[in-house]
Structure 1
Amino acid sequence: MLPLLLRSTLKRCPTTCNSSFYSSRSFSWTPYARGFLRTTPRVQQEVLTPNSLPKEQGRVFDQEPEFYKRIGKPRIGKQILFVAVGSFFAITLAATQTTIETEHWTERMLSVSPIWNVKALTNQDLKRAQNAELIQRMRETLTNIQSTVQQLPVLIRPWINLAFVSVMQPYADASEGKRLCWKICLLNAAVYLAWKVKRWQGFMTTRFMHYPLSGLSMTLLTSMFSHRTAIHLLFNCLALESFGSAAYYYLLREQNKEEPEILESTSSYHFLGFFVSAGLFSGLVSHIVSAKIRYPRLIAQLSSSANVSKKTETWASAVAASTASAAQATTKKTARDILPSLGASGAIYAAVTMTALAFPDSQVALFIPPTYPINIQYGVGGLVMLDVIGIIRGWRFFDHWAHLGGAAFGVLYYAYGPSYWRYLRRESTLADQSLVGES
């Protein structure tokens, strides 16, 4: 066989043979039968000279190194830069927009009643004014609906009014944080419905799922709001409504502790900046693990010696070949694919861990299936431990690395997020005041 011939001649011509050529050739060259080759100097020279290879074999030999050169190692630099810049932009834009809206409501309050020229405004005053305007707009909308349905039969009009009140009354009674979480859930539902349009399947797969080996960065953001199954969407929305509104209240409470108080008419932009940054960070953690840990392991498994087929000539070699085939099948089973990721679980995990740290005495219970209430820190600790076990055991149903990345972001934001937000708010307020003074 040709590999045996090379072994016998490699010692004779060390200057002619190349060790790298010999080691890589065994993965791409099919050996000939022993009887068709004679160990003559001419044959040895032809075998050991790469230029004298048959064209088809030389082409196969050249393709394998080119394949690895073309694929290379997955890069993570663009994704890290995208997440860093995107998170900074999201938080900074949230602080700037909060300052603009607060200035707008402050001017409105001062122009409506002269009492605010004597009495100092507070955040509670601004929020009461916003809530009063929201209720006023709802009443005007209900009046317009009633005038519009006058042409409908009398039996239908009360049902339309009842449907509007049944939807809008809970919205008016809910907290600002819960309303914002409902809006995020509606956005997730809209993306879910887009998945159901067959014409958009290709676009949604490319732009609303993050493939770690695709080289794309924008999908780290779009995949955060993407869900392909109804059960995935339902559980994420339930968790977001519960823990998202609690995280919103914590951010609001921390801002109200500021001395001297910085007026803030809403914390919606703060929570949105936190939510987007948490989703980007959790997706980046999963991306780095797939690119730098899972991908090298996959390549190592697929290129192992168990995947090299050998020619069987005797009964003993047939037994060895069957063993190699079994090893090859085992390797293919153990080699995990690099799966895409999507969903808001990472950002929700950040809200969960931040809530557990902010309200350590709270209790939580599962709605589906119903369970007894337990301390929130025990519950969150159990979720984190479940993800750690999933990583160790190799479970692939959930993106456990994204969950852990989101949990880590929640801990970091609990420790440093409110102080950084106050710094941005002070800077944006000073910048706005300087612009007003110049004008």
Structure 2
Amino acid sequence: MRKASYRELGRKLQARLTQFQEAVSGLPQDIRAMAVYSYAQVAQSILNTTEGSRMCYAIGALNGAILLAWQIPRLTPVMMRAFTHSPLSGLSYTMLTCVFSHSSFLHYLFNTMALASFGSAATSYLTTKQQEPGHLRESTSKWHFLAFFVSAGLFSSAVSHVITARITYPQLVSRLTRLAPSLTSGTFSSASTAARSSTAAAEIASTIKPSLGASGAIYATVTLTAMAYPDTHITLIFPPTPPIPIQYGVFGLMAVDVLGILRGWKLFDHYAHLGGALFGIWYHAYGPQIWESFRVMTLGSLPPSLYP
């Protein structure tokens, strides 16, 4: 099945190359030759890479399209409402859409680089687990990786949501109530009360910010790779490091997030990072078995004539 899928992809890319050649046939010869050569090189790279990498490229392309939408000023209100998650908004679908949303190019670039670096290895691990004795065979593991990535993103969003809605927000309201008794007692003038209310709202807005980005899902991908291939060495870009064992690097990054929570750093969503990292560790221990059980249940619901 994998070889058949590879040949089918090759035929599709060849057909698209032919269509592209026809589309640029009216251009000057030098420009046409350069365009066709560039297209052929990209197509060959897509064909030669692994299925896991192709799925990572597809996720990166989707994230890139949403990043471009962020750059259109007229769409900013829509993007803020539909592609960021605020625990106080009352919306639940944004816990998924925010995973594919990046408003900053650097944020998108680093996340895409990390996904491209570790996504293929994670998919290879899932493929290996599916080939163990007694498991149903799969023609591809890219859908398994996509399900893992989406689940990790949702879990990291849920961790951040619960911590903010159930712990951070009540604590902040309690502290503001103690510092500003006029908000509840009404003993001060209306102007004073309005000013204090405005100050309280501003502090809540600065503390509880909408979240977005695939960092939680990518953390899960990195930790899954670290648990699956503990002998691998990596080099971190930030902070710059020499080659170090992957598990040292991963747990070092998790320690930075713990420190960020203790110190109250607000640049990143540290709870989402840790939620994604813990999901990757958990998935290494139990995920492939759960995926297999779902496939067995699905197969059992099919008519016997459709059994492989």
Settle same-fold status: TM greater than 0.5.
yes
Mapping of residues 40-189 of structure 1, within 5 Å = 126-189=1-64
- Give the structure 2 partner of residue 92 of structure 1: none
Q: Check if 1:379 corresponds to 2:253.
A: no
Q: Check if 1:226 corresponds to 2:107.
A: no
Mapping of residues 169-248 of structure 1, within 5 Å = 169-248=44-123
- Aligned with residue 389 of structure 1, among 259, 268, 285: 259
Q: In 2, distance between residues paired with 1:287 and 1:362? A: 33
Change in Cα spacing, 1:202 to 1:263, as seen in structure 2 (3 Å) is: same
Q: Check if 1:269 corresponds to 2:143.
A: yes
- Aligned with residue 345 of structure 1, among 212, 215, 232: 215
Contact map agreement 2:135 2:292 (CA 8 A) in 1: no
Contact map agreement 2:228 2:284 (CA 8 A) in 1: yes
Q: Check if 1:418 corresponds to 2:259.
A: no
The one-letter amino acid of 2:51's match is: E
Q: Deviations over 1:332-354 (max 9, x none)?
A: 97996211111101111111111
Give the TM-score normalised by structure 2.
Answer: 0.89
Q: Check if 1:406 corresponds to 2:276.
A: yes
The one-letter amino acid of 1:347's match is: A
Deviation, structure 1 residue 435: 6.2
Secondary structure (helix, strand or coil) at the match of 2:159 reads helix
Secondary structure (helix, strand or coil) at the match of 1:193 reads helix
Deviation, structure 1 residue 423: 1.3
Q: Check if 1:288 corresponds to 2:158.
A: no
Q: Deviations over 1:350-385 (max 9, x none)?
A: 111111111110011124675311000000010000
Q: In 1, distance between residues paired with 2:53 and 2:205? A: 43
- Aligned with residue 299 of structure 1, among 173, 193, 197: 173
Deviation, structure 1 residue 434: 3.0
Deviation, structure 1 residue 194: 0.8
The one-letter amino acid of 1:372's match is: P
Structure 1: gaps of 5 or more residues:
1-125, 312-328
Q: In 1, distance between residues paired with 2:261 and 2:238? A: 25
Percent of pairs with identical residues:
48
- Give the structure 2 partner of residue 365 of structure 1: 235
Secondary structure (helix, strand or coil) at the match of 1:213 reads coil
Deviation, structure 1 residue 169: 1.6
Q: In 2, distance between residues paired with 1:145 and 1:291? A: 52
Contact map agreement 2:130 2:137 (CA 8 A) in 1: no
Contact map agreement 1:223 1:342 (CA 8 A) in 2: yes
Q: Deviations over 1:318-344 (max 9, x none)?
A: xxxxxxxxxxx9xx9799621111110
Secondary structure (helix, strand or coil) at the match of 2:30 reads coil
Deviation, structure 1 residue 201: 1.1
The one-letter amino acid of 1:279's match is: G
The one-letter amino acid of 1:287's match is: H
Contact map agreement 1:298 1:335 (CA 8 A) in 2: no
Greater Rg by CA: 1
Dislocated runs of 4+, deviation >6 Å: 332-335
